[in-house]
Amino acid sequence: MTDRMHDLLDRLAEEAPPPRMDPGLFRRAQRARRRDRVVAGAVAAGVVVAVAAGSAGLGSMVLRGDGAPATTDRAPAMPTRIHAVPQHVDDVETDLAVGITAAAFYDHGPAAVLVSAVDGSYQRVDLPTQDERRMSWSRGGSMSLSPDGTRLAFAWHAPLPARSGPHVPSGVAVADLRTGEVRRFERPGDRGVMVANLSWSPDGRYLGYGVFVQRVWDRGMSESRVYRTERLDLETGRAVRVPLGAAEGTPAVANDGRVAMAESGSAGWWDPRAEPAVTDLAGRLRAHVSSAAWSPSGRHLALGSFSGARGRVVVLEPGTDPLRTIESGDSGGNRVLGWVDETRLAVLHTVEGEATGTLQVVPADGVAEEPGVVVDLGWSSGHTFATDLLAEPTREFPAPDWPPDWGAVAGYAVVTALAGAVLLVGLRLWRRRTR
Amino acid sequence: MRKSDEDAFDEFVATRAPSLMRTAYLLTGDAHLAEDLLQTVLFNAARRWGRIEGSAEAYVRRAMYHENISMWRRRKVPETAYDESSDVRAGLDADVALQLTLAEALARLTRIQRTVLVLRYYEDLTERQTAATLGIGVGTVKSTCRQALTRLRVLAPHLAELVGAEEGR
């Protein structure tokens, strides 16, 4: 009978699914351990400074660094909030093996910031695009997270010459965030190419992007007059040009390789197997659209409105005649980021002038019901998200444990010391006068 | 050539994670919670890798039992009444029916009761070993086990034959 109980428990245990383990787990754990030791040291030093200064403001600033380090570790999830990085934070890592990533953006540096989907930690990383990455960043959309959060695509170029002339090897790079390995895909063009407007197909096989062909490119200057759209097959390494005109929008690639684009109110798609290959929706849409995303099956195409417009998200069924459309989402800026599944969209909702946006899950035929992920915009830009994670509930992680702003601490200490010295001198003078 | 800590850890995870996941599943009764639990303890073990004394597996299992109880306390999941009216057992194989009842009944135990049962009847630990693993007294293990089996009998009378045999162990 004892064996029978054991056997029944054994059979019950067999129902357990195979564990999904993050290959970067060990490295992240070691980084967390190093971080804890730095925080512990900073706290100890901070306590000494607080006692010496004796100022309530100084004490509270140091204590802000005394938070518990983010250590919870579970299955990947989208955090309930994406925080901006304070301007005094300037340490960067070069190791891109940060694990499954929920969101990425450029901060004030600019450095790329990767938000872990496993423990909610923030990593500022130095993408291997050389010192001139600021130029790539300033174009916007020059970094994109794969839907499952395991890879990061970004613009890449070799060191720029002092004077424009030689061709600069450049193109698209894809980092595997589980291993840290980087694959580079060089693209041809005059003095080099600056890649922007990167996006992934739902299954992560294709990348769509725009290419600014540089006719002048050196450390001080860049000039481009030619723009083209391309689709890269990551399995074969083969890139093809997409004939969707000169619009500088973000191409959306379907799992079957079709490419759509919405920019400045116009939209269309390219299907190399169809006749004609290009379908132009000019004049057929009432909304001012500027973003696009194919559903996983490729049956639906969602188009989002840009900030300031009063449009919504428009969902099309490209195979239907007449073209069937559904409108959903809230009025205002709705950047369509991707599809969570066949019936729901991931949309970044922004309102002109507000410091935060909201990452929402919107039914293709309705309005978002869940509160959504709050995104601190601030000095940050180029937000990209692992939209597959939105299929599961979001998770509340501890707020990032930023190191203390020692520059401000030093400033407070100097002010306090000066105030003390002034007080002392004043007291001595007053005593002399009263004698 | 001596393995690096990372290689040793990765090898440990590759070979032992499936077995650890099965135990985690029995402890929590839920695939997502089991994965959470396993990730948490492996992450903490990775932080201490190289400084773990003795068997790494024993360390991880002990950590899992403790973390499981801590997680349950943090979640404050209320216990729900066992619903005998849902009869999905008709027509099922007797053993399968008993298994479903056991799964449902286990879900109604407290986390400590469930943990003790898993250690005693799945991991096949003695009362003394169970007490040492959980850091509680042998008397506590005995009483917790007795309470768990009594509760199983109340929640699922079909288990009476099985539970009655276990009490005599």
Instruction: Give me the long-range contacts of B24-27 (CB less than 8 A, separation at least 24).
Output: B24/A16, B24/B64, B24/B68, B25/A12, B25/A13, B25/A15, B25/A16, B26/A9, B26/A12, B26/A13, B26/A16, B26/B106, B26/B114, B26/B118, B26/B122, B27/B64, B27/B65, B27/B68, B27/B111, B27/B114, B27/B115, B27/B118
| Chain B residue with minimum CA distance to A35 | B47
pLDDT value of position A131:
44
pLDDT value of position A102:
96
Q: How confident is the model at residue B90 (pLDDT cuts 50, 70, 90)?
A: very low
Q: How many CB pairs under 8 A join A and B?
A: 110
pTM across the whole model: 0.59
Residue B144 has pLDDT above 80, yes or no: yes
Strand ranges for A187-257 from DSSP E: 193-200, 206-217, 222-233, 238-242, 252-253
Q: How confident is the model at residue B51 (pLDDT cuts 50, 70, 90)?
A: confident
Mark yes or no for CB contact A19/B103 under 8 Å. Answer: no
Q: Which helix (H) or strand (E) holds A103?
A: strand A101-106
Mark yes or no for CB contact A75/B166 under 8 Å. Answer: no
Tell me the pLDDT of chain A (435 aa) as tens digits: 467 788 888 888 988 988 888 778 888 888 777 765 555 555 445 444 444 444 444 333 332 233 333 333 468 999 999 998 887 787 788 788 889 999 999 887 668 999 999 989 999 988 876 444 444 444 456 899 999 999 999 998 888 888 888 888 999 999 999 888 889 999 998 899 989 899 999 999 999 999 989 888 887 777 888 889 999 999 889 999 999 877 778 899 999 999 999 887 778 899 988 888 888 887 676 667 788 999 999 999 998 876 545 556 888 888 776 666 666 555 567 889 999 988 888 988 877 667 788 898 888 876 666 778 888 876 677 889 999 999 888 898 888 878 777 666 677 777 788 888 888 888 888 888 776
CA A397/CA A35 separation, integer angstroms? 17
CB half-sphere exposure, B13, CA atoms < 13 A: 24
pLDDT value of position A337:
92
Within 8 A of A6 by CB-CB distance, chain B residues are 121-122, 124
Pick the most confident of A159-163, A320-324, B101-105, B123-127.
B123-127
Pick the most confident of A276-280, B76-80, B82-86.
A276-280
Q: State the amino acid at position A99 in one-letter form.
A: G
Strand ranges for A288-332 from DSSP E: 289-294, 301-305, 313-317, 324-328
CA A318/CA B135 separation, integer angstroms? 64
Q: Which residue has the tokens 């790539």?
A: A136
Q: Tell me what percent of the residues of chain B surpass a pLDDT of 70.
A: 75
Name the DSSP letter for residue A299. Answer: S
pLDDT value of position B162:
67
**How far is the alpha carbon of B57 from chain A, nearest alpha carbon, in Å?**
16
pLDDT value of position A133:
46
B52-67 tens-digit pLDDT? 878 888 889 988 988 8
Average pLDDT along chain B: 78
Nearest by CB: B98 against A8, A22, A118: A8
CA B92/CA A51 separation, integer angstroms? 71
Within 8 A of A27 by CB-CB distance, chain B residues are 6
Mark yes or no for CB contact B21/A14 under 8 Å. Answer: no
